[in-house]
Amino acid sequence: MDKIKLFWSKTNRWHRLIFLFIVVELRLLPSGQLGFLCNDPALSHPFTGDTISWKWLLGTTLFLPFIVMLIVEKKYNSDSKTDQSKQRAVFWYKEYLFGTLINLTIVQLLKVLVGSPRPHFFDTCNPKEAETCEASEFVSSYTCAKAHWISQSDKSFPSGHTSLAIHAGVFIAYYLHQRTRHIPRSRAIVCVQILSVASAIICGISRIIDRRHHWWDVLAGAFIAAPILLYTIRTLCGNFNGSRVSEVENNSDNNSKINDPNGGRADNVAT
C-alpha cells in the first residue's frame, strides 16, 4: 500500500487520466452488452461509412483551437512590452487538451459499459443468434460472426463524434467571444463562431444520417460535452482571463525555485 501511495504521489493529473484512458481502451473493465430484438428495424440499416471520419475529426478538434488562439492572441491581444500572446495560447491549449481527454475518456468508458448496438448492427456484426431467433424475441447475449466488427458494432451509445465536435466548436466560439470583446466585432470573427458551432451540429446530424448512431446517442454525446466544456472553460482556462495565466506561470516558477536545492540561483551552480 505504501508503494502505491508513493507512486500515486509522483503522478500528476495527466498521468492519472491517461492511465484511465488506456485501461478503458484496452477493455480491462467489464464490458456491457444490451442485446437486441430479433429483426429489429432500428438495427437493420446497412453500413455506408462515415461522412466525417475519425481522422478528420481528431485532426480538427486537436489543432484548430490552437491555431485560432495563436492568431487571435497575436493579432488582438498582443502586448508590445511583454509579448505573452503565445504563452497564453499555449497555456489555454494545454488545458483544452486536458478537457478533450476527459471528454474522450468518459465517452469511451460509457461505450464499453453500456454496449449499445449500432443502427447497422445486423450488417456489421451478423450475430449468429439472429439466424435462429423468431419474431420479436429478445436476445440478451450474442456473438458477432464478423470478427473485425466485434469491438465496434456495440459501441453506439454515446456518440463520440458529437461530443468531441461540440466540445471543440463551442470552445472556439466562446473563446472568440471572450477574447475579442474589447474590439468592434468583425464579420470574420462572427463567421468563424457561427461556422464552429454549425460544424459541430452538422457532425452530430451526419452520425444519424450515416446510420452510425441513434438520435439518442447523438443527444447524449452533446449532453456529455456540456459540463466537461463548462469545466474546461471556467475552471481549467479561467474563463480566458489573461492575468490568471501570468499568475499560474509565476506560481509554477516559484514552486520550481522552492524545489530547486540551489534556490533557483545560477551563481550556486558549480562550474
Which H or E run includes 37? strand 36-37
- Which sign does the torsion angle of CA 129, 134, 135, 136 carry? negative
**Residue 179 forms part of a structural domain:** yes
Any domain includes 88: yes
The Cα 182–Cα 77 span in angstroms is 9
Rounded Cα distance, 187 and 171, in Å: 19
Would you write out the chain's pLDDT as a tens digit for each of its 271 residues? 666 777 777 889 999 999 999 999 988 888 888 999 999 999 999 999 999 999 999 999 999 999 999 999 988 887 755 568 889 999 999 999 999 999 999 999 999 999 999 999 999 999 988 888 888 899 999 988 887 777 789 999 999 999 999 999 999 999 999 999 888 878 999 999 999 999 999 999 999 999 999 999 999 999 999 999 999 999 999 999 876 665 655 555 444 444 444 444 333 333 2
In a domain, 208, yes or no: yes
With respect to residue 21, please indicate whether it lies within any of the assigned structural domains.
Answer: no
Expressed as residue numbers, the domain containing 55 is 50-117+155-240
Number of domain units in the chain: 1
Residue 255 lies in a domain: no
- Cβ-contact 116, 159 below 8 angstroms: no
Q: Within a domain: residue 197? A: yes
At 146 the three-state DSSP class reads: coil
Query: Is residue 10 in some structural domain?
Result: no
In a domain, 253, yes or no: no
